[in-house]
């Protein structure tokens, strides 16, 4: 039977940092900190494998399987602490915390002070000489256990936590403002009322047995692996369900023993900007969850940080030093020890550390360390700073990049001129950078509903909890009244790359009325505000944004990507502006230029409609002759922007009905311009209507039935290429035939292309090399790729349509059920966002192999949206594709993913 529990304490540990898959991140690092000789309360870790068994076999079986090992591990902690579990005279109290192998801040459950009952609270009061601390610990335990294990939660979204409601009532009765102002008798009254509420809610008395409490806590943590917010967080961060969570049981240390005790969270570097500045927050006379939950706004650890915070809040230096001193001022020895430990941990793990600590009666204890969540900008800066310092090598720096987080660096920022005119309504803490503008909503489900209607929202909360994750995910930004830089809102927002302003203490949020008061103005749900996550300012209305300026570290990471990658990154661009933008981001060519996008501009649409409605070939040719110079001009602009790189131009793809007018007024106009009757226009429009246009008369099928379209487009491409070549531009045209499913289809179209190109070369007395290829998007094309490659000189996989046809999903209709599919485990990811490697990917692999079997030098790429999704890019790189192509703003993401694939290879 495999070992299920690993102990640690007193400088020894059965595990270490390399065992995070088995012990979870928290358990592995607690073991490692012990081995490094750091002050860590003793305890033990129940492995992630037990969580998997718990999900499979249920509570009773797992408790039976691990009972003896848990009892033995508790005995180990008793020995190291000199205390006894479930003993009324000398009680050992423990914390029970989750810890998956990937950090999931706040998504799972924690219980502190476990082992307390009416007998142990009395001995704890006597032993500590501090009855207030004992009863405060007891009320916290009953509250946490009631919430986490017994399921005492608010019944509606406007209700507050049932325990908090009792606390508020008692504070009001006693005429006090803060929890810390409650007397021992008040705390006893709270415990009494809490227990009565538990009895009313569950029909049972609150459990007195420490062992019953322990099993309740352990099982609640395992249960929380499958709670709604944890499932959602895993889905958002691609964390597999089968990983499971470990459970960490540790002897309690207390930050709530009085003014010589504290609890806090620290970062070895700034998680928002990446600057090499130690920072963090603490609360005097509090317990760990108080800081992260954001219920009280904490104080800063360093004097420098404290002064910065005071400046943001408009607090004088005298008031700051007397009312809100830094830990360096209130407990200088503990602060110095903490900073030294942070340096040691960062040097050891070679990455920015996020640490939790408690100070009990003047002694520092470390409760956790992990690689800290950070913004995209901080991710790049920290990696490059560590590389320059010689702490990590180039490949490690590249592998530290989460490719999709680079997207944050490309987000718009507020226009500086507009900011000078904007009205600041409130000021909070700059918890996560960014520029957010949206309409106010107060609840996560409303944020989701509004976002589904394509509305931009800012989620405004008193404080966020893990239940708000859904709303945070879709909001442009988050504003909270309470909570510091290390609160749940701040940590999760930074991890998501969301703009967040926390701890804006002057605002007043009213959930019932759905209003927030700021700067003397009452804002209602739906009113517009803007947040500056870099300064903490909250502005009235909508503040305009501009494109960001990228710094040297971003360029340095892109240079590293270029050094290691074997797969080129092209862009999907239909205009010279998009092409230039993508080239600035390092795109090396265009993998998809959609010619039909050019047809909708200005007067062109009239010529296109004329061509479609023409009754004969001559009429079509006359209309196409009008389009020719327009198309030629477009292609010249794109060839110029991509000087030196290949440009793949897809011939007309959509069905013709997309270009014709469907409103009677526009049809009437068109009829007058063409000198035909309205009835004739209507008849032609009706004739173009298709039951299933996605599988209808489109792509190469149009070019085969109307060869003059292919002729005109080929002429425009070749004439444009010759024109820019004459101006000294290095041009590489690649003509792509869409929707090919058979050899005959590509032969037909390639013949027209080559004949037309030869005519243009003869007319101009000049020639240049060009390629003819196809888009592999029909499953049959992948199956007969060996035949198609007899003609095609390149393949570009159009994985959007290939996914539609392989799954039999319509991309427009699938969202109606794909969300349900994901929530119920039918599929892990949306196949239109992440390439389905098992199905669609097999067709892609087959197409590459068969194509290159016929034509070994065949150039192969991908141009669906998957070309900018990191795991799909890595799959393409492993298949030996020459390039991936994606939208301009995803080019940096694809470049880093391609480089990582080359490093992994």
- The CATH number given to whatever domain includes residue 239 is 1.20.80.30
Residues 6+ apart with CB under 8 A from 822: 235, 828, 829, 830
- Picking from 319, 347, 374, the residue at the C-terminal end of a domain is 374
Above 80 in pLDDT, residue 103? yes
Residues 6+ apart with CB under 8 A from 801: 694, 739, 777, 778, 864
- How many angstroms from the chain centroid is the CA of residue 764? 53
**Sign of the C-alpha dihedral, residues 832, 838, 844, 847?**
negative
What pLDDT sits at residue 293? 63
Residues annotated as catalytic (active site), given as ranges: 488, 863
Closest CA to 796 of 650, 902, 898, 896: 650
The answer as to whether 592 is a domain residue is yes
What pLDDT sits at residue 410? 84
Question: Do 787 and 826 sit in the same domain of this protein?
Answer: yes
- Ranges 332-336, 619-623, 655-659: which has the least confidence: 655-659
The answer as to whether 391 is a domain residue is no
Question: Do 275 and 416 sit in the same domain of this protein?
Answer: no
Question: Do 869 and 804 sit in the same domain of this protein?
Answer: yes
**Sign of the C-alpha dihedral, residues 709, 713, 719, 723?**
positive
Question: Do 238 and 268 sit in the same domain of this protein?
Answer: no
Taking the CA atoms of residue 98, residue 101, residue 104 and residue 107 in that order, the dihedral angle to the nearest 10 degrees is -40
- Residue 85 class from Cβ within 10 Å (0-12 exposed, 13-18 middle, 19+ buried)? buried
294 pLDDT tier (thresholds 50, 70, 90): low
pLDDT digits (tens, 9 = 90+) for 729-788: 999 999 999 999 999 999 999 999 999 999 999 999 999 999 999 999 999 999 999 999
What pLDDT sits at residue 815? 81
CB 598 within 8 A of CB 634: yes
CB 255 within 8 A of CB 112: no
pLDDT digits (tens, 9 = 90+) for 401-458: 999 899 888 888 899 889 999 999 999 988 888 899 999 999 999 999 999 999 999 9
Q: Per the structure block, which two tokens stand in for 464?
A: 């966020």
CATH number of the domain bearing residue 352:
3.30.470.20
Query: What's the number of domains the chain is made of?
Result: 4
The answer as to whether 633 is a domain residue is no
Query: In whole angstroms, what is the distance from residue 375 CA to residue 578 CA?
Result: 26
Query: In whole angstroms, what is the distance from residue 708 CA to residue 596 CA?
Result: 15
* Backbone angles phi and psi of 353, in degrees to 5: -105, 140
Ramachandran area for residue 90 (φ above 0: left; ψ -120 to 50: alpha; else beta): beta
Query: In whole angstroms, what is the distance from residue 752 CA to residue 379 CA?
Result: 51
Percentage, residues of the chain above pLDDT 70: 99
User: Tokens 């504070």 appear where?
Assistant: 171
DSSP classification of residue 869: S
Question: Do 523 and 592 sit in the same domain of this protein?
Answer: no
Taking the CA atoms of residue 352, residue 354, residue 359 and residue 360 in that order, the dihedral angle to the nearest 10 degrees is -130
Query: In whole angstroms, what is the distance from residue 743 CA to residue 220 CA?
Result: 61
- Picking from 374, 395, 425, the residue at the C-terminal end of a domain is 374
CB 868 within 8 A of CB 835: no
The answer as to whether 884 is a domain residue is yes
Taking residues 574-585, what's their average pLDDT?
90
Closest CA to 94 of 43, 134, 139: 43
The answer as to whether 657 is a domain residue is no
pLDDT digits (tens, 9 = 90+) for 29-71: 999 999 999 999 999 999 999 999 999 999 999 999 999 999 9
- Residue 780 class from Cβ within 10 Å (0-12 exposed, 13-18 middle, 19+ buried)? middle
Q: Per the structure block, which two tokens stand in for 421?
A: 């005119």
Question: Please, what is the average pLDDT of the chain?
Answer: 93
Question: Do 266 and 247 sit in the same domain of this protein?
Answer: no
CATH number of the domain bearing residue 801:
3.20.20.60
The answer as to whether 724 is a domain residue is yes
Closest CA to 480 of 499, 456, 454: 499
Helix 59-81 and helix 48-57: axis angle, to 10°? 150
pLDDT digits (tens, 9 = 90+) for 14-31: 999 999 999 999 999 999
Taking CA atoms, 665 is separated from 169, 686, 687, 753, in Å, by: 66, 16, 19, 38
159 pLDDT tier (thresholds 50, 70, 90): confident
Query: In whole angstroms, what is the distance from residue 848 CA to residue 795 CA?
Result: 8
pLDDT digits (tens, 9 = 90+) for 659-713: 888 888 888 888 888 888 889 889 888 888 888 888 999 999 999 999 999 999 9
Query: In whole angstroms, what is the distance from residue 268 CA to residue 302 CA?
Result: 12
What pLDDT sits at residue 885? 97
Above 70 in pLDDT, residue 292? no
Query: In whole angstroms, what is the distance from residue 114 CA to residue 85 CA?
Result: 10
DSSP codes, 68-130? HHHHHHHHHHHHHHT-BTT-SSSB--EEEEEEESS--TTTS-EEEEET--HHHHHHHHHHHT-
CB 734 within 8 A of CB 649: yes
**Sign of the C-alpha dihedral, residues 14, 18, 23, 26?**
positive
The answer as to whether 316 is a domain residue is yes
Question: Do 776 and 851 sit in the same domain of this protein?
Answer: yes
Question: Do 521 and 578 sit in the same domain of this protein?
Answer: no
Question: Do 75 and 221 sit in the same domain of this protein?
Answer: yes
pLDDT digits (tens, 9 = 90+) for 850-861: 999 999 999 999
What pLDDT sits at residue 13? 97
Q: How many CB atoms lie within 10 A of CB 22?
A: 19
CATH number of the domain bearing residue 468:
3.50.30.10
What pLDDT sits at residue 237? 86
Question: Do 799 and 829 sit in the same domain of this protein?
Answer: yes
- Ranges 174-183, 332-341, 382-391: which has the least confidence: 174-183
Domain span including residue 570: 565-599+708-904
Q: How many CB atoms lie within 10 A of CB 64?
A: 10
Taking CA atoms, 609 is separated from 383, 450, 623, 650, 681, in Å, by: 54, 37, 8, 20, 10
What pLDDT sits at residue 822? 84
What pLDDT sits at residue 814? 85
What pLDDT sits at residue 315? 92
- Residue 560 class from Cβ within 10 Å (0-12 exposed, 13-18 middle, 19+ buried)? buried
Question: Do 245 and 279 sit in the same domain of this protein?
Answer: no
598 pLDDT tier (thresholds 50, 70, 90): confident
232 pLDDT tier (thresholds 50, 70, 90): confident
pLDDT digits (tens, 9 = 90+) for 838-896: 999 999 999 999 999 999 999 999 998 899 999 999 999 999 999 999 988 889 999 99
The answer as to whether 397 is a domain residue is no
CB 881 within 8 A of CB 567: yes
621 pLDDT tier (thresholds 50, 70, 90): very high
What pLDDT sits at residue 105? 83
Taking CA atoms, 636 is separated from 604, 633, 726, in Å, by: 17, 5, 11
* Backbone angles phi and psi of 883, in degrees to 5: -155, 160
CB 429 within 8 A of CB 536: yes
What pLDDT sits at residue 562? 95
Question: Do 876 and 729 sit in the same domain of this protein?
Answer: yes
DSSP classification of residue 402: -
């Amino acid at each position: 039977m495999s070992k299920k529990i690993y102990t640690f304490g007193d400088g020894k540990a059965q595990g270490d940092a390399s065992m995070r898959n088995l012990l979870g991140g928290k358990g592995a690092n607690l073991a490692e900190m012990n081995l490094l000789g750091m002050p860590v309360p003793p305890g033990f870790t129940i492995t992630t494998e037990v969580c998997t068994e718990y999900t499979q076999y249920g509570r009773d079986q797992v408790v039976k399987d691990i009972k003896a090992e848990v009892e033995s591990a508790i005995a180990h902690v008793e020995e190291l602490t000199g205390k006894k579990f479930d003993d009324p005279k000398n009680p050992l109290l423990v914390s029970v915390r989750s810890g998956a192998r990937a950090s999931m801040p706040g998504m799972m459950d924690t219980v502190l002070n476990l082992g307390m009952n009416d007998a142990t609270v009395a001995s704890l009061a006597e032993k500590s000489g501090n009855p207030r601390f004992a009863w405060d610990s007891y009320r916290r335990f009953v509250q946490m256990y009631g919430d986490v294990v017994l399921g005492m939660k608010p019944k509606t979204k406007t209700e507050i936590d049932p325990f908090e409601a009792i606390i508020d009532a008692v504070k009001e009765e006693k005429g006090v403002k803060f929890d810390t102002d409650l007397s021992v008798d008040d705390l006893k009254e709270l415990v009494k009322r809490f227990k009565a509420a538990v009895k009313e809610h569950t029909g049972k008395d609150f459990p007195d047995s420490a062992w019953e409490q322990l099993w309740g806590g352990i099982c609640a943590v395992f249960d929380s692996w499958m709670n709604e917010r944890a499932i959602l967080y895993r889905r958002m961060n691609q964390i597999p369900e089968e990983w499971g969570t470990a459970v960490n049981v540790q002897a309690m240390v207390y930050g709530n023993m009085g003014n010589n005790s504290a609890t806090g969270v620290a970062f070895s570097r700034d998680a928002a900007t990446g600057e090499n500045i130690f920072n963090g927050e603490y609360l005097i006379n509090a317990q760990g969850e108080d800081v992260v939950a954001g219920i009280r706004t904490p104080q800063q650890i360093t004097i420098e940080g404290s002064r910065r915070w005071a400046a943001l809040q408009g607090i004088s230096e005298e008031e700051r030093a007397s009312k809100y001193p830094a830990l360096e001022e209130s407990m200088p020895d503990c602060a110095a020890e903490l900073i030294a430990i942070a340096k040691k941990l960062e040097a050891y793990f070679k990455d920015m550390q996020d640490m939790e600590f408690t100070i009990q009666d003047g002694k520092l204890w470390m409760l956790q360390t992990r690689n800290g969540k950070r913004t995209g900008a901080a991710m790049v800066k920290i990696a490059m700073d560590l590389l320059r310092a010689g702490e990590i090598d180039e490949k490690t720096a590249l592998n530290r990049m989460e490719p999709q987080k680079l997207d944050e660096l490309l987000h718009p920022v507020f226009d500086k001129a507009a900011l000078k005119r904007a009205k600041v309504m409130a000021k909070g803490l700059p918890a996560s950078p960014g520029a957010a503008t949206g309409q106010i909503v107060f609840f996560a489900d409303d944020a989701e509903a509004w976002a589904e209607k394509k509305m931009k929202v800012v989620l405004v909360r008193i404080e966020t909890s893990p239940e708000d994750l859904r709303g945070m995910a879709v909001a442009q930004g988050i504003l909270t009244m309470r909570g510091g830089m290390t609160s749940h809102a701040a940590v999760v927002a930074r991890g998501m790359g969301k703009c967040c302003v926390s701890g804006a203490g002057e605002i007043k949020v009213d959930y019932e009325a759905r209003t927030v008061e700021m700067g003397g103005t009452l804002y209602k749900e739906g009113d517009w505000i803007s947040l500056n996550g870099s300064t903490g300012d909250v502005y009235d209305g909508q503040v305009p944004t501009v494109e960001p300026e990228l710094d040297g570290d971003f360029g340095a990471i892109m240079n590293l990507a270029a050094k290691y990658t074997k797969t080129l990154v092209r862009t999907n661009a239909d205009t010279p502006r998009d092409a230039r933008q993508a080239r600035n981001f390092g795109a090396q060519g265009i993998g998809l230029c959609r010619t039909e996008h050019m047809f909708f501009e200005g007067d062109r649409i009239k010529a296109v409609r004329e061509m479609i409605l023409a009754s004969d070939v001559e009429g079509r040719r006359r209309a196409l002759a009008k389009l020719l110079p327009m198309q030629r001009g477009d292609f010249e602009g794109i060839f110029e922007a991509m000087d030196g790189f290949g440009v793949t131009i897809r011939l007309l793809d959509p069905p013709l009905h997309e270009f014709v007018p469907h409103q009677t007024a526009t049809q009437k106009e068109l009829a007058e311009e063409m000198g035909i009757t309205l009835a004739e226009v209507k008849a032609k429009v009706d004739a173009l209507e298709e039951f299933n246009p996605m599988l209808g008369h489109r792509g190469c099928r149009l070019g085969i039935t109307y060869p003059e379209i292919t002729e005109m487009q080929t002429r425009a491409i070749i004439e444009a290429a010759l024109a820019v070549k004459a101006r000294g531009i290095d041009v590489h045209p690649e003509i792509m035939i869409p929707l090919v499913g058979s050899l005959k289809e590509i032969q037909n179209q390639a013949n027209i292309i080559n004949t037309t190109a030869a005519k243009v070369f003869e007319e101009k007395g000049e020639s240049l090399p060009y390629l003819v290829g196809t888009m592999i998007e029909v499953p049959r094309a992948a199956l007969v790729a060996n035949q198609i490659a007899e003609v095609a000189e390149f393949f570009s996989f159009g994985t959007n349509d290939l996914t539609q046809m392989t799954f039999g999903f319509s991309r427009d209709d699938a969202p109606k059920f794909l969300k349900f599919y994901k929530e119920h485990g039918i599929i892990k990811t949306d196949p239109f966002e992440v390439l389905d490697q098992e199905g669609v990917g097999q067709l892609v692999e087959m197409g590459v192999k068969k194509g290159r079997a016929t034509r070994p030098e065949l150039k192969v790429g991908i141009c669906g949206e998957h070309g900018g999704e990191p795991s799909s890019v890595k799959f393409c790189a492993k298949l030996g594709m020459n390039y991936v192509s994606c939208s301009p703003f995803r080019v940096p993401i694809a470049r880093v993913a391609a480089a990582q694939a080359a490093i992994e290879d």
